[in-house]
Structure 1
């Protein structure tokens, strides 16, 4: 099992439910079993159903499907991904799943934000300093084969945003991006995770 910090939403869930450690451990074991049997669902839905944060849910995926890097690696991850070509950036909230495809622009810090600009449909201003962990997830997704996502987590254990490896016209993952994803995951992952 990976080292996992208890994030704010998990602590609140345990406190609100009056759960003891054994109860939380039993729920986590059940979640691990569920994700082992079916790792391909919408992880945000699993988080909502179980009351755990998305980070905790990802941590319960089978070990070969996920790794984590510290939040301090977020800028390095973004810089590397800027060289991958067309990717999909996804923001998922309770009310919206917003996707934008294009090359990730190189960002720079200014006025408290990591600013993305320049010639791509992907742009904006990110509070990258709020990133506490970067997740690397490769798993089957809803019967459409593998997906590869880099997830930027905040201190509540929720996704700030996700960046997915691109697909070709036949909906297959782009081989060169899968290689870059794998290399980045190996380079940035937390030792012993």
Structure 2
């Protein structure tokens, strides 16, 4: 066993321990507690909870998400958890950026080249099912996340949930 493999196993063991302590907790908080990246915690979620996609799927996944209607767009850093409800505009690439503009409160510029992969995540969160799409960077952190939003009764909105489940099933095979 190489030294890198041993380090990876130790890191994943810490991620497993944090997840075992709070299986429906905030991924970033669990990662911080264990001294690992959020990607490490995603890697130890129960089988069937996560589907990993290559960064090359960015455009196709974004295009699918843009058809969902209102979503919850989250940027989670150590300083802020920014949550914005609205539809994702179709994007376009220019000057090294993926640009999103349209009739939505969600807009701006994404450094698409920094996306190292995408994770489709279906897991419990604070006692309720949570479905999200994570666009990951090479530090193992989410650049941003797109969640199936909740209705007034705190249930996942059915139209977006069906779209998430269809994407999850399509990418599973």
Query: Which position in structure 1 is the counterpart of 2:101?
Result: 117
Q: CA distance change for structure 1 residues 20 and 160 in 2, over 3 Å: closer, same or farther?
A: closer
1:149 and 1:162 in contact (8 A); partners too: yes
Asked if residue 153 in structure 1 is aligned to residue 136 in structure 2, the reply is: yes
Query: Which position in structure 2 is the counterpart of 1:137?
Result: 121
Q: CA distance change for structure 1 residues 62 and 72 in 2, over 3 Å: closer, same or farther?
A: same
Distance 1:46 1:85 in 2: 30
What are the residue-to-residue correspondences of 1:1-193 with 2, within 5 Å?
21-22=5-6, 24-32=8-16, 34-36=18-20, 38-143=22-127, 145-189=128-172
Q: Which runs of 5+ in 2 are unaligned?
A: none
Question: Taking CA–CA contacts closer than 8 Å with sequence separation of 6 or more, which of the two structures ends up with the larger relative contact order?
Answer: 1
Q: Report how far residue 74 of structure 1 moved.
A: 1.1
Root-mean-square deviation (CA, aligned residues, Å) is 1.9
Higher strand fraction (1 or 2): 2
Q: TM-score when scaled to structure 2?
A: 0.90
Distance 1:127 1:23 in 2: 30
Tell me the SS of whatever aligns to 1:64. Answer: coil
Moved more, 79-88 or 31-40: 31-40
1:73 and 1:188 in contact (8 A); partners too: no
Q: Report how far residue 71 of structure 1 moved.
A: 0.7
The 4+ residue runs of structure 1 with deviation greater than 6 A are none
Q: Which runs of 5+ in 1 are unaligned?
A: 1-18
Query: Which position in structure 2 is the counterpart of 1:8?
Result: none
